[in-house]
Amino acid sequence: MPTVAHQELCSRMMVPGSERLARIWEMLCDEADAKLLLAMPGTAQELAEKCSLPLDETARRLDELYFKGVAFESEKPQGTVFRAPRHLIQFHDASVQWPDAPEAYYDEWSGFMANEYPPLVRMLLDTGFPVFMRVLPISDTVKSLEGRLRCEGVENIIEDADMIALCMCPCRLTEKAHDKASREVCIQINKGANYNIKRGTGRQITKEEALALLHECEGNGLVHFTDAKAGLGTFICNCCDCCCAIIRPYMKDEKLRGILAPSRYQPRVDPEPCMQDGVCRDICPVGAITLEAGAPCPEIDADLCIGCGLCVDSCAFGALSMRQVRPPEFIPA
Ligand code: SF4
Ligand code: SF4
């Protein structure tokens, strides 16, 4: 049975009273662990004192919580300080990578993401929570356009990285979808890469390997996402419309579209070379393209389009091209 401490952890994730989330916490930690998490931040010594636990037991518990993805370390003048997840997304993404998670753990998360996550996102957006991520267009579709920003190129983000790790996609893990190899598509950079390599949930890859993977993902119809803000990227997600915790809410209703910032680009169609084969319509991850029978070319819903460039990249007849539709300031500094 989830305890009061487990319930309190749910409240800290802004989902008070969630029975499903309480069961998730209960699978991860017993009551003493939950109390340690509630007592964070602190060093092992400070947490041991706050929770009246022997230091060696506290250190062992903190190690396990770190491994499970619910305690995070940072080096401070007073020593290693542990903190709990800052918000539900961090909690989800790190803890579903827990290598020893039972099957039921993913089932609970899958149920949560389908039923309780959209109302949470709606509430967060209502309270002014900033957009979660932005779309990075496929570079080959925008590279030649004047005014492209450095932070809009996946190859630039990779080039600027000091350390890169390849990890399992948290959304694909949660949904237990796709084969194991196809789940390994999440790129973490610098701090996130170090964290995942140390925790054993990611493996270091070279810049060349990262670029090859990104290219392969584009060919498989996956959309690149990164930090909403401009500047050095800290991750590049490669997302599918069936599992992604961003695309799925985006598709649910207009209000939830605030979760994702589109790129500054949108495709336009040239009817002349279009062969009406519908390839662009089929690959669009958000259903923004329609192709009526007998129409000379597809139509694009500009309000729905996220500017990923997949349609442009997939058109074998060169009938689609990207153009800039938003100013550079659209990407927050
Ligand atoms: S993929 Fe190209 S040729 Fe095919 S329908 Fe779309 S625009 Fe036309
Ligand atoms: S129409 Fe669809 S596939 Fe094309 S850029 Fe927009 S979201 Fe991407």
Distance CA 161, CA 207 (A): 8
Query: What's the token pair of residue 321?
Result: 């091209």
Distance CA 14, CA 11 (A): 5
pLDDT, tens only, 123-178: 999 998 889 899 999 999 999 999 999 999 999 999 999 999 999 999 999 999 88
Q: What is the mean pLDDT of the chain?
A: 95
Question: What DSSP character marks residue 264?
Answer: S
Query: Which of the ligands is closest to the CA of residue 142?
Result: 2
Radius of gyration of the chain (CA): 22
User: Which of 246, 238, 236, 233 shows the shortest CA–CA distance to 92?
Assistant: 246
Distance CA 41, CA 37 (A): 8
3-state secondary structure of 130: coil
Residue 293 alpha carbon to ligand 1 centre in Å: 13
Query: Quick check: CB of 300 below 6 Å from ligand 1?
Result: no
Distance CA 202, CA 184 (A): 9
Residue 318 alpha carbon to ligand 1 centre in Å: 8
Q: What percent of the chain has pLDDT over 90?
A: 93
Distance CA 285, CA 24 (A): 30
pLDDT, tens only, 253-288: 888 999 999 999 999 999 999 999 999 999 999 999
The mean per-residue pLDDT over the stretch 291-315 comes to 96
Query: Quick check: CB of 280 below 6 Å from ligand 1?
Result: yes
User: Which of 15, 4, 322, 3 shows the shortest CA–CA distance to 139?
Assistant: 322
Whether residue 203 is predicted with pLDDT greater than 80 in this model: the reply is yes
Question: What DSSP character marks residue 55?
Answer: H
pTM score: 0.92
Which atom belonging to ligand 1 lies closest to the Cα atom of 298? 5
Identify the bridge partners of residue 202 per DSSP, sorted by sequence position. 167
- pLDDT, position 180: 79
Alpha helices in the chain (DSSP H): 4-12, 19-28, 31-39, 44-51, 55-68, 88-95, 103-115, 117-126, 139-142, 154-160, 170-175, 180-183, 191-199, 207-219, 247-252, 279-283, 310-314
3-state secondary structure of 277: coil
Q: What percent of the chain has pLDDT over 70?
A: 100
Residue 140 alpha carbon to ligand 2 centre in Å: 14
Query: Which of the ligands is closest to the CA of residue 273?
Result: 1
The mean per-residue pLDDT over the stretch 177-184 comes to 87
Residue 141 alpha carbon to ligand 1 centre in Å: 15
Whether residue 312 is predicted with pLDDT greater than 80 in this model: the reply is yes
- pLDDT, position 100: 92
Task: Label residue 47 exposed, middle or buried (CB < 10 Å: 0-12, 13-18, 19+).
Answer: buried
The mean per-residue pLDDT over the stretch 165-192 comes to 93
Whether residue 232 is predicted with pLDDT greater than 80 in this model: the reply is no
- pLDDT, position 317: 97
Residue with token string 């989330």? 21
List the chain domain ranges.
4-115, 133-330
Domain topology for 4-115: Arc Repressor Mutant, subunit A (1.10.10)
pLDDT, tens only, 25-58: 999 999 999 999 999 999 999 999 999 999 999 9
Question: What DSSP character marks residue 234?
Answer: S
- pLDDT, position 1: 83
Q: Report the relative pairing of strands 289-290 and 235-239 from DSSP bridges.
A: unpaired
- pLDDT, position 293: 92
